[in-house]
Amino acid sequence: MSPRPARYHPALVTLHWLIALLVMLALIAGSLVISDMPNTEPDKIDALRIHAIMGVSIGALMLIRLLVRWRTAHPAPASTGIALADRLAPLAHGALYVLVLLMAASGIALSVQSGLGEALFGTGALPADFHAFTPRLVHGLIADLLIALIVLHVAAALYHALVRRDGLLRRMGFGAR
Ligand code: HEM
Ligand code: HEM
């Protein structure tokens, strides 16, 4: 077997940071702005149009990223020095993929059930309240789980960078592999 590279593939690195930015923007806009707007507010359609396009794009980028991840070589697993954390890391990374994909899927399911697509890109109107639809509850619940997992993920990255000082962030950066 060829030796493990020192960094992730540049395509995976690009996708990691692009998706990280888009997911954080969608989470912030969704929970702090859009969900607080009444559906009768005229600006809500414009905000949701951006949110839906962004959400579907995130889902597509995440699927592309899974393909790239599968086709490229990765660095050897990093160690935190804590056996339990080392065992949980791959699970947490897998859960990041699953939760992001579930956000996009529940958003699409919500659109289909509530007629959102028609309201955003046709002549339909927004429903009185999205909370009447089950996918809205799923969308809100998964958002909370995803926020918690991202906080943990960033805390772990900082632990590697500041406590272990093992240069882990460089693995998710550009440079010679
Ligand atoms: C929405 C935000 C984010 C998501 C969804 C996300 C997702 C992921 C996933 C799934 C991996 C595993 C790599 C793979 O196998 O594909 C990963 C690795 C990594 N992430 Fe993130 N990430 C996010 C934000 C961040 C942020 C803000 C930082 C920095 C503070 C960060 C630093 C890293 C590092 C350093 C690695 C490499 C870990 C290693 O070498 O094993 N991530 N990220
Ligand atoms: C990864 C992608 C996505 C993320 C991170 C995201 C994030 C969020 C968040 C954080 C909320 C507020 C949840 C709450 O406070 O309970 C929200 C609400 C919403 N999202 Fe998404 N979303 C994504 C994809 C989508 C997609 C693809 C659609 C539609 C096609 C969509 C449609 C909506 C709608 C209709 C609401 C409800 C607004 C309301 O209750 O007034 N989202 N989203």
For residue 2, what pLDDT band results from cuts at 50, 70 and 90? low
Instruction: State which of 25, 80, 172, 177 you would mutate to test the pocket of ligand 1, scoring each by most atoms of that ligand within 8 A of its C-beta.
Output: 172
Of the listed ligands, the closest to the CA of 151 is: 1
The pLDDT tens digits of the residues spanning 17-39 come to: 999 999 999 999 999 999 999 99
The H or E element spanning position 27 is: helix 10-28
pLDDT at residue 90 greater than cutoff 70 = yes
Would you state the pLDDT for residue 3?
A: 80
Q: Which atom of ligand 1 is nearest to the CA of 23?
A: 1
Q: CA geometry: angle at 54 spanning 48 and 55, to 5°? A: 85
Q: Which atom of ligand 1 is nearest to the CA of 78?
A: 41
Distance 141 CA to ligand 2 centre (A): 11
- Domains of the chain (ranges, CATH numbers): 10-171 (1.20.950)
pLDDT at residue 147 greater than cutoff 60 = yes
Would you state the pLDDT for residue 68?
A: 98
Residue 114 tokens read as 């509530």
Average pLDDT, the chain: 96
Q: Is 78 in the pocket of ligand 1 (CB under 6 A)?
A: yes
* CB-CB contact of 16 with 171 (8 Å): no
Q: 175 — alpha (psi -120 to 50), left (phi > 0) or beta?
A: left
One DSSP character per residue, 80-146 reads -S-HHHHHHHHHHHHHHHHHHHHHHHHHHHHHHHHTHHHHHHSS----S-GGGSHHHHHHHHHHHHH
By CB atoms closer than 10 A (0-12, 13-18, 19+), residue 111 is: buried
Q: Which atom of ligand 1 is nearest to the CA of 158?
A: 30
pLDDT at residue 114 greater than cutoff 80 = yes
pLDDT > 90 fraction of the chain, expressed in percent and rounded: 98
Q: Is 157 in the pocket of ligand 1 (CB under 6 A)?
A: yes
Over the range 136-161, which residues count as b (16 or more CB within 10 Å of their CB) and which as e?
bebbeebbeebbebbeebeebeebbe
Would you state the pLDDT for residue 1?
A: 54
